[in-house]
A and B are shown apart, each in its own frame.
Chain A
Amino acid sequence: MSLAVNPWMAAGAVFALTALFFPLGAGEIPLNWLDFPGLAILVLGFAAACAWLARGWVAGLPLGLLLVGAVALGGAVALYLLYETGVGGEARLGFWLFIFALWATAWRGLDAIAGFRSLNKSAQRGVDLLVPLIFGCWLVFLWEVVTVGFGVPQVLLPSPSMIAVRLAGSLDILAADFYQTFVKAVISGYLIGCGSGFAVSILVDRVPFLKRGLLPLGNFVSALPIVGIAPIMVMWFGFDWQSKAAVVVIMTFFPMLVNTVSGLNAAGALERDLMQSYGARYWQTLLMLRLPAAMPFIFNALKINSTLALIGAIVAEFFGTPIVGMGFRISTEVGRMNVDMVWAEIVMAALAGSAFYGAMALCERAVTFWHPSYRQRR
């Protein structure tokens, strides 16, 4: 192992040490680190540890976990300073240098953890999950520190803690919105859109002139802008979720159609000849060869549509809706300057969309386990 000094660790030590010489906050009598001797000693210890570890005495996963633990402790110190000592809203160089020290240390820590390789599959899997988790936590922390430290107005960007408080405080409203938009509009529209896209693609495949006649038409419909379609759907199907489901149907139909049509042609010539040599009927070839071969394409469409559907339903609610729904809430709360509520809805939409996409990806892995992109994992 090389004992060269690691630049990130060195930067961590230097930043932490320098931070101690600069004021923490503004005000008539600026706050200094020396006003909190306990914390100052802690930061000094942090700098010393960074300097010591920079030589590479400890490496790999232990180093990574050690550093992440240190950053967590440092983060707690930073949050204490922000909320309990009046540094919040007027943080100065001493505070930010300390944040930079944490940043450099976190970088080195994640680097060490991401480099972890193990033959033990579950250990490797756990560590692989740890990396994005720590990274996400760090980003949220940084968001919190920057918004609170600089005193960013909440209309511009609320801090994560404000969003979380709002989220926890309005679970009943969020649940009602989720039920209205996701369960009613998105799920039903998604099922109808994907189902009809699939059915029509079978028809298109069976009837040659439809391929020439219907595919360009489908292309045309898919090119219609959703903001133009949505008000018309509201006029046709009323204010409730049905009009939103209709928008979702229009958005999801075409990706499914196109993907399935090309998927049905994915089976190789040899494989088709084989079916022909057995005198297989059309539907036998369809079920035993062409649909299984089309599955990677179909799942592609299902994944694309899972995110498209949510966007479609939320945007469609901007154009008339009963007084419930994620899109409705976003458009009204932004008008009332309740941006933290808007963000709470965004968080929920992101969680729901990711979960939906993830569920489709898991199904895909189970169904197309044979595909070269998944094989090696078996």
Chain B
Amino acid sequence: MTPIPLPSDPGRDPDSEPEEAAGVAADQNRGGVVQARDLSLTFQTADGPVFALSGVDLEIDQGEFVSFIGPSGCGKTTLLRVIADLEQPTGGTLSVNGVPPHEARLSRDYGYVFQAPALYPWRNIERNVTLPLEIMGISAAERREKAREYLDLVNLGGFEKKFPWQLSGGMQQRASIARALCFDPALLLMDEPFGALDEIVRDHLNEQLLRLWAKTQKTVVFVTHSIPEAVFLSTKIVVMSPRPGRIIDVIPTDFPRDRTLDTRETPAFLEVAHRVREGLRAGHSYDD
């Protein structure tokens, strides 16, 4: 991939450590967990450049639950992967927990939940959940303790010795959430975690996730293409649009946090959902 010329990006330059240190202090004062300025990412392909992200400005504060919603190809997953340092932006600045994404990744500032559970079939559930702890060099006794704690948190107590392929899809995804949480990262990045599950399981897991979020006080960034899911879960909804991938609206959902599935029938909920749908419709080019 050839980076296209863009304004200088001190955040991604490993040679500019002093500048970065100053940036850390400034960012921490403002309390933003994720801060993006004019972020862009262009993939060079044989068919010409693909503008996956273009001019993205975004601020996510401590304790927020932010959803990225948009049609496929709008760059919502790419944006999450850029935050996780799994993709490199080609322009703009980005800080995660006050440091560049690369440093945030190496200091294990975030837990990432993928579209699929990505549990390793040769490890039992307990050893899957404690995989990050093993990488971090935590002692076996403490790992076992953490596994029990976080498996209980996602209602999987007693399944420690089972193998992933002996569990249902919903249980597997819950185990992968426990794995993302067990090393207590400040930030939880979730990429359509319930996309492959059926609606009933999904509703159930949405409720559980809300409770989990209230209990752990984590900052959550959540990618979805379901409007009800986004409105139900989020404190803030980021509506995105494709070609080029960009943010077209940021919608606060300020109804109370103690939501139940019935919340989805209230006028306030429907109003926000309507606004999201309008936003998506406005941003969507119907030429395809």
Q: Using CB atoms and an 8 Å cutoff, list the residues of chain A in contact with chain B.
A: 268, 270-271, 273-280, 284, 288-289, 292, 295, 368-372, 375
- For chain B, what secondary structure do more than half of its interface residues adopt (helix, strand, loop), or is it mixed? loop
Chain A residues whose CB sits within 8 angstroms of the CB of B118 once the complex forms = 268, 270-271, 273-274
CA distance A276 to B105 in the complex (A): 8
- Interfacial chain B residues near A271, Cβ < 8 Å: 118, 120
- Chain B nearest CB from A302 CB (Å) reads 17
The answer to whether A279 touches B114 (Cβ under 8 A) is: no
Bound form: Cα–Cα A273–B122 in Å: 18
State the B residues within 8 Å of A (CB).
84-86, 105-108, 110-112, 114-116, 118, 120-122, 131-132, 134-136, 163, 165
A residues in contact with B111, CB < 8 Å: 277
* Residue of B with least CB distance to A284: B135
Residue numbers in B under 8 Å from A368 (CB-CB):
122
Q: How far is the CB of A122 from chain B (nearest CB, A)?
A: 23
* Option from A270, A279, A372 in Cβ contact (under 8 Å) with B108: A279
Contact B131 A288 (CB under 8 A): yes
Q: Which residue of the partner chain A has the closest CB to B137?
A: A284
Can you name the residue of chain B whose Cβ is closest to the Cβ of A274?
A: B118
A-B pairs, 4 with minimum CB distance:
A370-B121, A279-B106, A270-B118, A370-B122
Measured in the bound complex, the distance between the Cα atoms of B163 and A289 in whole Å is 16
**Chain A residue, CB-CB nearest to B176:** A274
On whether the beta carbons of B135 and A289 are closer than 8 Å, the reply is no
Do B86 and A276 touch across chains, with their CB atoms under 8 A apart? yes
A277–B81 Cα distance when bound, in Å, is 10
- Known pairs A268-B118, A278-B132, A295-B122; list 18 more (Cβ under 8 Å): A270-B116, A270-B118, A273-B112, A273-B118, A274-B118, A275-B135, A277-B110, A277-B112, A279-B105, A279-B135, A284-B135, A288-B131, A288-B134, A288-B135, A370-B121, A371-B121, A372-B165, A375-B165
Max chain A CB contacts within 10 Å: which of B107, B108, B116, B120? B120
Q: How far, in whole Å, are A4 and B122 apart by their CA atoms in the complex?
A: 52
Query: What B residues does A277 contact at CB under 8 A?
Result: 84, 86, 105, 110-112
Q: List 13 A-B contacts (CB under 8 A).
A: A268-B118, A270-B114, A270-B118, A274-B114, A277-B111, A279-B106, A279-B135, A284-B135, A288-B131, A288-B134, A369-B122, A370-B122, A375-B165
Tell me what chain A mostly uses at the interface: helix, strand, loop, or mixed.
helix
Set of chain A residues within 8 Å of B115, measured between Cβ atoms: 270
User: Which B residue sits closest to A280, measured CB to CB?
Assistant: B135
Docked pose: A284 CA to B120 CA in angstroms? 14
Bound: A271/B132 CA distance, A: 12
The residues of B that contact A273 with a CB separation of less than 8 Å are 86, 112, 114, 118
Alpha-carbon distance between A270 and B111 when the two chains are bound, in angstroms: 14
B-chain residues with CB within 8 Å of residue A372 when the two chains form the complex: 165
Residue from A274, A277, A369 with most neighbouring chain B CB atoms (10 Å) = A277
Q: Contacts A271-B118, A370-B121: A278 and B131 contacting too (C-beta < 8 A)?
A: yes
A370 CA to B165 CA, complexed, in Å: 8
Shortest Cβ distance from residue B247 to the other chain A in the assembled complex, whole angstroms: 24
Write out the residue numbers on chain A whose beta carbons fall within 8 Å of the beta carbon of B112.
273-274, 277
List the B residue with the shortest CB-CB distance to A273: B86
* A residues less than 8 Å from B105 (CB atoms): 276-277, 279
| CB of B220, distance to nearest CB on chain A (Å) | 15
B246 → chain A, closest Cβ, in Å?
24
Q: In the complex, what residue of chain B is closest to A369 when comparing beta carbons?
A: B122
- Tell me which residues across on chain B come within 8 A of A292, comparing CB atoms: 120, 122
Q: Roughly how many angstroms separate A273 CA and B121 CA in the complex, as a whole number?
A: 16
* Inter-chain contacts of B131 with A (CB < 8 A): 274, 278, 288
- Cα–Cα distance between A275 and B136 once the two chains are bound (Å): 11
Q: Residues of B contacting A270 with CB < 8 Å?
A: 114-116, 118
- Nearest B residue to A281 via CB reads B135
**CB of A269, distance to nearest CB on chain B (Å):** 9
Q: A276 to chain B: which residues have CB within 8 Å?
A: 85-86, 105
CA distance A279 to B137 in the complex (A): 12
Contacts of B110 in A (CB 8 A): 277
Separation of A270 and B172 alpha carbons in the complex (Å): 15
Q: Of B108, B114, B120, B121, which is within 8 A of A278 by CB?
A: B108
Residues of B with C-beta under 8 A to A280: 135
Complex-state Cα separation, A288 to B136, whole angstroms: 13
Kindly provide the distance from the CB of B256 to the nearest chain A CB, expressed in whole angstroms.
33
| Residues of A close to B85: CB separation below 8 A | 276
Q: Across the interface, which residues of A come within 8 angstroms of B132, CB to CB?
A: 278
Taking the nearest CB of chain B, how far is it from the CB of A17, in angstroms?
57
Q: Kindly provide the distance from the CB of A59 to the nearest chain B CB, expressed in whole angstroms.
A: 38
- Distance between A34 CB and nearest chain B CB, rounded to angstroms: 67
Contacts of B116 in A (CB 8 A): 270
- A-chain residues with CB within 8 Å of residue B163 when the two chains form the complex: 370
